[in-house]
A and B are shown apart, each in its own frame.
Chain A
Amino acid sequence: MPNSLTFTLVITGAPWTSQAPQTALMFATAALSAGHSIDRVFLYGDGVHLASSLSTPPSDEAHWPQQWSVFLKKHDIPATACIASALRRGLIDKTEQARYELPAENLLAPFEIAGLGEWVEGSQAADRTIYFHGN
C-alpha cells in the first residue's frame, strides 16, 4: 500500500465553462492533507484560462484563478500553462509579449508558460497523473 505518492495534475477545463479548476483544487488540497505531494500542475487547452490575471468575477463569486494562485504559492508547487494553448487563447507572459510585440501581458503568478515537454516529463516522473476535463 503506497503511503506518499507524487501527483501531476492536468487541467483542461476552463473556469466558468466547467467545474474542472474547482474539482482539481479540492482534489489537490485533499491530496496534500493525505501526505501526498503535487509535483506540477499543467494547464492545457481551455484550461489555460485559469492562469489569466485579468479574470474578474463578481465579488460574491469564487475567484478560481486567485484561489489557485494562493494555493500554488503557499505550497510552492510549480504550475505551467502550455505555450501553444496559451498563445492561441491570449494568455501572454512578459517574454512572449516582447517576442510578439503585444500590447499587454496577463499571466497570473506563479503560473509559467512552457511547452508540452513539461507535461511529458511530469507524467513520466509522477506516480499518478490526474486529468480534470471540461464537460
Chain B
Amino acid sequence: MTSNSTLHILNKAPEHPRYQACINALAPSDTLVLIENGVLSAAGNQLHAPCTLYALKADIDARALEAACENLNTIDYDELVQLTATHPKIISW
C-alpha cells in the first residue's frame, strides 16, 4: 500500500531549477511520474531517481523517446489517474 508515500508529478526539463529540487525531495517510498518536458530527462541517461518511477507514454511518444525510455515503466492517463487515487499526497512540481 502506498498511502504514506508522496506522488510527485514532474513536468520540467532537467535544466529547469525545479527539476533538481524535485529529485532532491524524493524519498525511497515515494513515486515519481514524469510528464510533459519531464520525460526529456530519460534521454541521455540524465535520470537518477531513488524511488518508483513512471513516465507518461503520450509525452514519450510525442518526443520520439521510446528507445531512451525502454527501461522506464510507462503509463497512460488512466494509470496516472489511478496513481493519484492511491496517493493521498501529491506534489505537482
Residues in A lying within 8 Å of B, measured CB to CB: 1-2, 5, 7, 18-20, 23, 26-27, 29-31, 33-34, 36, 127-133, 135
Contacts and interface: CB of A to CB of B under 8 A. Distances in A.
Contact of B85 (A20, A23, A36): A36
Contacts of B46: none
Interface residues of B, number: 23
15 contacts: A5-B85, A19-B36, A23-B35, A30-B77, A31-B81, A34-B78, A36-B81, A36-B85, A128-B84, A129-B90, A130-B84, A133-B92, A135-B13, A135-B16, A135-B37
A34 B81 CA distance: 8
B88 to A, nearest CB: 8
Interface of B: 9, 11-13, 16, 35-37, 58-59, 76-78, 80-82, 84-86, 88, 90, 92-93
Instruction: Identify whether the interface residues of A are mostly helix, strand, loop, or mixed.
Output: mixed
Contact of B78 (A5, A23, A33, A130): A33
Contacts of A30: 76-78, 80-81
Nearest to A4: B85
B85 A19 contact: no
A128 B36 contact: no
Contacts of B11: 19-20, 23, 133, 135
B16 to A, nearest CB: 7
